[in-house]
Structure 1
Amino acid sequence: MAFQIKQKGPVYDVCIVGSGAGGGMAAKILSEAGLKIALLEAGPKYDPANPEQMTQLKWPYESPRRGASTTRPFGDFDAAYGGWEIEGEPYTTKQGTKFDWFRSRMVGGRTNHWGRISLRFSPRDFKHKSYDGLGDDWPIEYEEVAPFYDRVDKMIGVFGTKEGMPNEPDGFFLPPPKPRLHELIIKKAGSNLGIPVIPARMSMLTRSVNKDRSPCFYCAQCGRGCAVYADFSSSSVLVNPAVKSGHVDLYDNAMAREVLTNSEGKATGVAYVDKIDLEEYRVMARVIVLAASAGETARLLLNSRSSRYPNGLANASGIVGKYLHDSTGSSRAAFLPQLMDRKRYNEDGVGGMHMYIPWWGDNKKLDFARGYHMEFGGGLRMPSYGFVNAIESMNGKYPGRDGQMKPAGGYGTGLKDDYRRFYGATIGFAGRGESIAREDNYCEIDPNVVDKWGIPVLRFNYTWSDHEIKQAKHMQDTFEQLIHEMGGVPLGNKPGPETMYGLENPGRIIHEVGTTRMGNDPKKSVLNKYSQAHDVKNLFVVDGGSFVSQADKNPTWTILALSMRASEYIMSELKKQNI
């Protein structure tokens, strides 16, 4: 039916689907080379400096719901247009398994509201099978990616310190912000336990890197999008400059349905539904770059069926959608009595942690194969009455100002006094770890369900293995050790085996990768080492789908580096007329 679809624009050099980390980087690199680009995004335009979209520095009472609830998963003012559930865009699960799929429908995608934890993979992360025999090695090594990591560091900006840790490769760092008080307490406890606590590595500017972006002014609201572009979001740092170059046509509210091909099997364009006029269009291009997210790209390929590609485009191997995996996550909170009655001062800082715990263990001595890092929060944030669980942990009583134990509860002056006493005295820990990539964790097309645009939806099949469950147990045991060492009171009951030690549902950490993995063998992988489809030479994937394994790091910095690498390979191949 492709001949019936209305065509938009000229025949472009490159059509990119998705404007997040991978798509934004591809648009910037390719447009700087003078190529004519079509950039398709399923959501609206977004600019955190636009007064109509800006939510930075607003108070809860400025919400239409006055802070009582939210229409967004991370709060009314968060820069996330989407969520795990989107009206009219369902997904399903199979055989009673669970998977929570987060979609962000906006220019810049999920980079607008992510934690901006910007970690490189280590040399071992690319070759885990060689170490523990599980999963597969990547077809590339750290040394091949390192020059691109370096360039991403310098282009975007990341703060941190050089530590010389094999599992945490050093980069080009901006000065880190000073630790907050609770972070210093955690660092002291970690030192006593032999657990490293080091400055975080996050992509907020502590000093300028170019004239278009100002340094962070420490409002701690990075999740709302930054009006001065001090934090990294693809929308403000990559897409905006690419569009301003004049070489990029941005098609927003364009819901991609299918990659089009010709009789020779070559990709020729992308068919999409315009979410405003509900008409179907096509954009034609010499090269197609998919960066819609690991799940959405797999869906697009599996829905791109033809007589030549009956199992979906680039899927002769049958691997598209398989080896799906997400980071593990488990968390715990605590109350620190020594932080009661704190002196008040501005402790906002960047939107997130100033320090973190990288993986320090030796998995050969443990009963699970892969590591995790630990994130933490606390301090003098927006005040809340958050010590009820701590009171319950002290048998319903807590120390009053006179040193005597007093009963929980109250109102009026006593309640206000309690607010002030407990303000800033709670902390939270979150573990984020690596799961094993397995073929039996996958997404596929549901044969019976379509979204409101008439596009068949994904169906997920996903379970955690014993490695992930035992890793979560180790997280919880470590949380308890640190809390005890700090003299804290754990909040609530410690998660046990009945909840897989608090292990979050797959997909909940929003780090899903692996559905279009790269490899040297076309029978066991979808892409080659340059993110190019084995079956379709002018088709590339530059989102997390290309990952062979996740590592215990957030995937964004590696997505950016590999997209830059793939984009320069595309330019080289175009010059050689190979694609």
Structure 2
Amino acid sequence: MQIKESATVYDAIIVGSGAGGGMSTKVLADAGLNVAVVEAGPFFDPKDPKQQTQLKWPYESPRRGAGTTRVFGEWDMAYGGWEIEGQPYTHKDGTKFDWYRSQMLGGRTNHWGRISLRFGPKDFKHKDVDGLGDNWPIGYEDVKPYYDRLDKLIGVFGTNEGLPNDPDGFFLPPPKPRLHELFYIKGARKSKMPVIPSRMSMLTKKINNERGVCFYCGQCGRSCQVYADFSSGSCLIFPAQKSRGQVDLYVNSMVREVTTNEEGKATGVSYINREDRKEYKLRGKVVILAASACSSARILLNSKSKQHPNGLGNSSDLVGKYLHDSTGASRAGFIPGLMNRKLSYNEDGVGGMHVYTPWWLDNKNLDFPRGYHIEVWGGIGMPNYGFGFNPNEFNKFFGLPTGGYGEGLRADVKKYYGSVIGFGGRGEAVARKDNYCEIDPTTVDKFGIPVLRFHYKWSDFERNQAKHMQATFEELIHNMGGEVLGDTPTKEQDYGLLAPGKIIHEVGTTRMGDDPKTSVTNKFQQLHDADNVFVTDAGPFVSQADKNCTWTILALSMRASEYIVEQLKQQNI
């Protein structure tokens, strides 16, 4: 088969256009470099009327917003999901891992919750705290300058609280709590739990001329047409295209492998064009993998050569190992005090929570080693199918006279709409070597690329953490004078602990470290085995923390990308 090779030699080829890839694109283009961005999905711009779903009415959809190909609903702006036709993945030893992929320019940053939390000092050195896992080769002081610059570059609202492991930053004004959140604050205070304004990357104040300000439609998951929320395409890649460097986009391009020379150094990438199904090659001085932790691991493991028989960067046999996702469990309650809401005003707010609870306890007194934070949902936003109120649920649990049709049903919905409040716990799992992804020896996708096979098991640490979440959620609901919906998940149900991969915070497959025998990249996310290959997604994370990972992906990508610029200037790579 003839493979067409590009004549251009780029300064850098960046695989993936999400948080890590977008930041690498911005830093390198601002430095005047010529870069190629290779994205598996199509071009996307939320400002394009043909692509936007923001400010669409439910009646404009024949399904009233219910999802078909988009797992989070038809109005959600994420192409892809846990299952994509023609792109399977498999499992080993009966374990389960749900692998979410969003293939489009900007990747998962088009629909994420935009919860933008810094990791704290303990999060980088947790082995020193509880003896489990490993410390990062860097500390908070190494990342803080990049967090600071990130806050100012992208914009994040919040307040400085002085919490030692939930570091403060440079915050825009936060939105005020809504009614259900005021109930939550009152309930949490009864249990002496902290509640602080959320820290989310949506602009509540003007920061530049390219981006608008949030107008509180509550639809950030649809990606914002005025660029008021953070998405990688609108806030990093589009500005990079206007900078000193050259940015060439290769969309609908599935990367097969990183190509290497006789010295074992990278020469570029090979990819399959989704439209004509032909294979092409790009050439570059540096290759940056930012396709997501699992996708980047897959590319490395498929990049076999005489110099790298075990896969590129895999002399330690650790590519794909130490995979871990955030833990997640949820619960909802009916709050009588929130019944009979007036529906004549807009309570949408931003697309997500206005307040949250950071981890507040000492794990030394508990039967699990790592903490979790609590996310809150509720209110009277625009209903679609599955909008959080099911008359049959109230009838089942409380014997309330709901249901039927016509004016009776309409009256019931108005009576109870907005009276449900829900919680999501998002916690830290301990990274373990025997949770991993590898190449399935017998299965390929529709492009002929070998697929991943997953092996993943929760431990009692994570199950006990979920048990604690459930007890906390029930206590909060009772504090608010409410009734818990549903039965308490049992031990046999893992206390409601969601399957790994469901929280979409997977990290750790190309972990960083000082020793090439026990890590894949160094502290600048540079492969030990090939010094002109870098990984700027969440793969190099040594541990996850009880925070969402995106803000740390962005900060570390900025750090690694500036290191790449410096190394190119010095002709070290």
| 1:416 corresponds to 2:410 | yes
Q: Quote how far apart the aligned CAs of 1:387 are.
A: 4.1
Tell me how far apart the structure 2 counterparts of residues 165 and 387 of structure 1 sit (CA, whole Å). Answer: 41
Tell me how far apart the structure 2 counterparts of residues 68 and 75 of structure 1 sit (CA, whole Å). Answer: 5
Taking the TM superposition and a 5 Å limit, the aligned residue runs for 1:335-354 are 335-344=334-343, 345-354=345-354
Is the 2:322–2:435 contact (alpha carbons within 8 Å) kept by the matching residues of 1?
yes
Match of 1:548 in 2: 542
Q: Secondary structure at the match of 1:179?
A: coil
Match of 1:130 in 2: 128
Letter in 2 for 1:487: G
Is the 2:394–2:402 contact (alpha carbons within 8 Å) kept by the matching residues of 1?
no
The match for 1:168 among 166, 169, 172 is 166
Match of 1:56 in 2: 54
Tell me how far apart the structure 2 counterparts of residues 350 and 373 of structure 1 sit (CA, whole Å). Answer: 19
Q: Quote how far apart the aligned CAs of 1:388 are.
A: 2.8
Q: Secondary structure at the match of 2:287?
A: strand
Tell me how far apart the structure 1 counterparts of residues 320 and 225 of structure 2 sit (CA, whole Å). Answer: 37
The match for 1:25 among 23, 29, 39 is 23
Is the 1:47–1:236 contact (alpha carbons within 8 Å) kept by the matching residues of 2?
yes
Match of 1:287 in 2: 286
Q: Secondary structure at the match of 1:186?
A: helix
Q: Secondary structure at the match of 1:546?
A: coil
Is the 1:335–1:387 contact (alpha carbons within 8 Å) kept by the matching residues of 2?
no
Q: Secondary structure at the match of 1:323?
A: coil
Taking the TM superposition and a 5 Å limit, the aligned residue runs for 1:241-320 are 241-245=239-243, 247-320=246-319
Match of 1:534 in 2: 528
Tell me how far apart the structure 1 counterparts of residues 319 and 106 of structure 2 sit (CA, whole Å). Answer: 24
Tell me how far apart the structure 2 counterparts of residues 328 and 460 of structure 1 sit (CA, whole Å). Answer: 17
Q: Secondary structure at the match of 1:414?
A: helix
Taking the TM superposition and a 5 Å limit, the aligned residue runs for 1:184-263 are 184-245=182-243, 247-263=246-262
Match of 2:396 in 1: 392
Letter in 2 for 1:500: D
Letter in 1 for 2:278: E
| 1:379 corresponds to 2:373 | no
Deviation digits for residues 446-493 of structure 1 (CA, Å, limit 9, x no counterpart): 000000000000000000011000000000000000000000111111
Q: Quote how far apart the aligned CAs of 1:66 are.
A: 4.1
Is the 1:334–1:390 contact (alpha carbons within 8 Å) kept by the matching residues of 2?
no
Deviation digits for residues 343-398 of structure 1 (CA, Å, limit 9, x no counterpart): 2321100000000010001000000000000001001112454343233222x23x
Is the 2:240–2:247 contact (alpha carbons within 8 Å) kept by the matching residues of 1?
yes
Change beyond 3 A, Cα 1:141–1:68 = closer
Taking the TM superposition and a 5 Å limit, the aligned residue runs for 1:311-330 are 311-330=310-329
The match for 1:440 among 430, 434, 440 is 434
Deviation digits for residues 61-120 of structure 1 (CA, Å, limit 9, x no counterpart): 212434455321101111101000000000001000000000110000000000000000
Q: Secondary structure at the match of 1:476?
A: helix
Tell me how far apart the structure 2 counterparts of residues 116 and 273 of structure 1 sit (CA, whole Å). Answer: 31
Is the 1:326–1:509 contact (alpha carbons within 8 Å) kept by the matching residues of 2?
yes
Is the 1:390–1:490 contact (alpha carbons within 8 Å) kept by the matching residues of 2?
no
| 1:356 corresponds to 2:343 | no
The match for 1:38 among 26, 36, 39 is 36
Is the 1:387–1:426 contact (alpha carbons within 8 Å) kept by the matching residues of 2?
no
Tell me how far apart the structure 1 counterparts of residues 410 and 286 of structure 2 sit (CA, whole Å). Answer: 62
Q: Secondary structure at the match of 2:48?
A: coil
Tell me how far apart the structure 1 counterparts of residues 258 and 212 of structure 2 sit (CA, whole Å). Answer: 39
Letter in 2 for 1:125: D
Q: Secondary structure at the match of 1:208?
A: coil
The match for 1:73 among 52, 71, 74 is 71
Q: Secondary structure at the match of 1:501?
A: helix
CA RMSD of superposed structures (Å)? 1.1
Q: Secondary structure at the match of 1:428?
A: strand
Is the 1:255–1:274 contact (alpha carbons within 8 Å) kept by the matching residues of 2?
yes
Q: Quote how far apart the aligned CAs of 1:191 are.
A: 1.0
Q: Quote how far apart the aligned CAs of 1:16 are.
A: 0.4
Is the 1:122–1:169 contact (alpha carbons within 8 Å) kept by the matching residues of 2?
yes
Tell me how far apart the structure 1 counterparts of residues 545 and 533 of structure 2 sit (CA, whole Å). Answer: 26
Is the 1:528–1:534 contact (alpha carbons within 8 Å) kept by the matching residues of 2?
yes
Tell me how far apart the structure 1 counterparts of residues 404 and 439 of structure 2 sit (CA, whole Å). Answer: 55
Tell me how far apart the structure 2 counterparts of residues 16 and 497 of structure 1 sit (CA, whole Å). Answer: 44
Deviation digits for residues 111-130 of structure 1 (CA, Å, limit 9, x no counterpart): 00000000000000000001
Tell me how far apart the structure 1 counterparts of residues 264 and 470 of structure 2 sit (CA, whole Å). Answer: 51
Letter in 1 for 2:138: I
Letter in 2 for 1:114: W
Match of 1:450 in 2: 444
Tell me how far apart the structure 2 counterparts of residues 230 and 555 of structure 1 sit (CA, whole Å). Answer: 21
Is the 2:69–2:80 contact (alpha carbons within 8 Å) kept by the matching residues of 1?
no
Q: Secondary structure at the match of 2:249?
A: strand
Tell me how far apart the structure 1 counterparts of residues 568 and 233 of structure 2 sit (CA, whole Å). Answer: 27
Q: Secondary structure at the match of 2:8?
A: coil
Q: Quote how far apart the aligned CAs of 1:209 are.
A: 1.0
Deviates more, 1:235-244 or 1:278-287: 235-244
Q: Secondary structure at the match of 2:523?
A: coil
| 1:488 corresponds to 2:482 | yes
Change beyond 3 A, Cα 1:98–1:180 = same
Q: Secondary structure at the match of 2:495?
A: coil
Q: Secondary structure at the match of 2:26?
A: helix
Is the 1:513–1:547 contact (alpha carbons within 8 Å) kept by the matching residues of 2?
yes
The match for 2:143 among 127, 142, 145 is 145
Is the 1:320–1:526 contact (alpha carbons within 8 Å) kept by the matching residues of 2?
yes
Tell me how far apart the structure 1 counterparts of residues 143 and 158 of structure 2 sit (CA, whole Å). Answer: 20
Match of 1:181 in 2: 179
Is the 2:391–2:402 contact (alpha carbons within 8 Å) kept by the matching residues of 1?
no
Aligned length: 567
Match of 1:501 in 2: 495
User: Which runs of no fewer than 5 residues in structure 2 stay unpaired?
Assistant: none
Tell me how far apart the structure 2 counterparts of residues 453 and 381 of structure 1 sit (CA, whole Å). Answer: 41
Is the 1:195–1:357 contact (alpha carbons within 8 Å) kept by the matching residues of 2?
yes
Deviation digits for residues 391-426 of structure 1 (CA, Å, limit 9, x no counterpart): 3222x23xxxxxxxxx44333222211111111111
Q: Secondary structure at the match of 1:190?
A: helix
Deviates more, 1:5-14 or 1:97-106: 5-14
User: Which runs of no fewer than 5 residues in structure 1 stay unpaired?
Assistant: 398-406
Q: Percent identity?
A: 67
Match of 2:89 in 1: 91
